[in-house]
A and B are shown apart, each in its own frame.
Chain A
């Protein structure tokens, strides 16, 4: 079984967000880049599955769409344990454009399980995984919080409103994963970092694809009013404010 994990290269989640060019582009000066947190959980789970040899996972590939500056993030994924990496050499576009690049890579390989994080922490599109599956006309399962292999069959736990389900779909399929898929993201060990330098990282050219949306402008949220503090021995006043000022009780 061959697993491919789609990786988005995103600003560290503690980044102070700034924009430039009259609020039309994200100002990435001084930004630390990381593997999108959900993608990192997907990769962690893929490595866990591969390490249990009874699962017969032969290979874990990681892929990203981005310029050369995204390569340290791919190397980090290799250091965590992926066997090889692919970078589609492109500035990123909208979700449709990125999904088309990934679909093209996946079509040219032989992958049984395609994993994507449920959203990226920068543009929060929740779109790429589902789009890839539709472009490839293969099944997809979203909101996955558990993934295991039993006798060659992939069993998926997904969250539904008010509960969870165990489901299966025939491979190849796209699995869109969220929290719960792995307990903690794996941190690369020194040995992994050394080995990652020698692992194959293939750069493939961009394919033509349509953009269906564009970000026209960014807006910072209005600063909020300061918090109204109430003494700990005056809980009655809090109830009064919630009832009569905020009118939420």
Chain B
């Protein structure tokens, strides 16, 4: 009963989530018995590939010559081919844009029950039962897989990276998939160069309507720079066009789970909390002491975000200088 884990890379380096995924897959394999094979698609160098061994993968399948952009059918076929080659019964992927696009197709292709957005190790191995969030984080459900195989997509930042200190053999893998037959035509790509991905960030600095105007984002960006954090915003802010909609965190925006989330001038509507409540630590600054954000927060200041922000930047710099 081996486990296949689909890893993702960015500019030739594995994303942090790939190490989470391999750590998770390794723990799952420990429960069901068997080994972990990692699958990598794209331009990743040998030494980077073999790094996955330290997190519990015993072998790495490397598919060179990845298609330009994501074609859901081609990727589904590549991953299905790797499942067949390894005889794996469990596939682990990330619950992100890519995982959401491909995992459902693989569930059908492999006749493998899909548990999307799992947050913990399985409760039991046979039958496979896993915990996931439902009702946008208001509850959890135990999903029982009824099929022989399973596809698990792991909610981000829900599993600690664990180094096992092992090593992995790297093998070049030809899935025998007609990449040229991809039906998706990429017409244009716009990338934000050099910007930390919101979904990958350990610390996120977010602003809401209490920031009063798009002109006031300077200190949020400065704090983000000091803490190597990503910036985010609430829905009214992206609706107003103060910030791009990619920054909108909340039920209908991005769902994130950083280690530390700062909410400046965000009242904390239930839809916003649905997108951020999995953060390990939430700090809220709001003028309204009754704002619902304080029910979700771990630390709070009743005050004007525009006044607190500069002081916070000064204090953090001072604390760091010590």
**Do B260 and A124 touch across chains, with their CB atoms under 8 A apart?**
no
Question: What 1/0 mask marks residues of chain B from 87 to 116 whose CB sits below 8 Å from any chain A CB?
Answer: 000000001111011111101110111111
Confirm or deny: B214 has a beta carbon within 8 angstroms of a beta carbon on chain A. Answer: no
Q: How large is the interface on B (under 10, 10 to 19, 20 to 34, 35 or more residues)?
A: 35 or more
Stretch at the interface among B58-66, B164-172, B190-198: B190-198
Q: Which residues of B contact A227 (CB under 8 A)?
A: 284, 294-300
**Do B104 and A128 touch across chains, with their CB atoms under 8 A apart?**
yes
Confirm or deny: B126 has a beta carbon within 8 angstroms of a beta carbon on chain A. Answer: no
Q: Which residues of B contact A213 (CB under 8 A)?
A: 113-115, 143-147
**Do B113 and A212 touch across chains, with their CB atoms under 8 A apart?**
yes
Stretch at the interface among A66-74, A189-197, A237-245: A237-245
**Do A126 and B95 touch across chains, with their CB atoms under 8 A apart?**
yes
Confirm or deny: B31 has a beta carbon within 8 angstroms of a beta carbon on chain A. Answer: no
B143's partner among A41, A161, A216, A246 (CB-CB below 8 A) is A216
Most buried by B among A38, A158, A214, A231: A214
**B residues 55-82 in Cβ contact with A at 8 Å:** 69-73, 76
Q: Which residues of B contact A167 (CB under 8 A)?
A: 69, 184-187
Question: What 1/0 mask marks residues of chain A from 208 to 246 whose CB sits below 8 Å from any chain B CB?
Answer: 001111111111110011011111100110111111001
Q: Which residues of B contact A130 (CB under 8 A)?
A: 72, 100-105
Most buried by A among B107, B132, B195, B284: B107
**Do B259 and A134 touch across chains, with their CB atoms under 8 A apart?**
no
Confirm or deny: A56 has a beta carbon within 8 angstroms of a beta carbon on chain B. Answer: no
Known: A131-B104, A219-B131, A238-B315. 9 other contacts (CB 8 A): A95-B107, A124-B133, A130-B104, A159-B246, A215-B144, A221-B138, A243-B319, A248-B203, A248-B280
**Do B300 and A162 touch across chains, with their CB atoms under 8 A apart?**
no
**A residues 119-138 in Cβ contact with B at 8 Å:** 119, 121-131, 133-135
Confirm or deny: A59 has a beta carbon within 8 angstroms of a beta carbon on chain B. Answer: no
Minimum C-beta distance from B194 to chain A (A): 9
**B residues 1-59 in Cβ contact with A at 8 Å:** 10, 15
Question: What 1/0 mask marks residues of chain B from 274 to 315 whose CB sits below 8 Å from any chain A CB?
Answer: 100000110110000000001111111111100110011001
A217 to B129, CA, bound (A): 10
Q: Which residues of B contact A81 (CB under 8 A)?
A: none
Q: Which residues of B contact A142 (CB under 8 A)?
A: 72, 97, 100-101
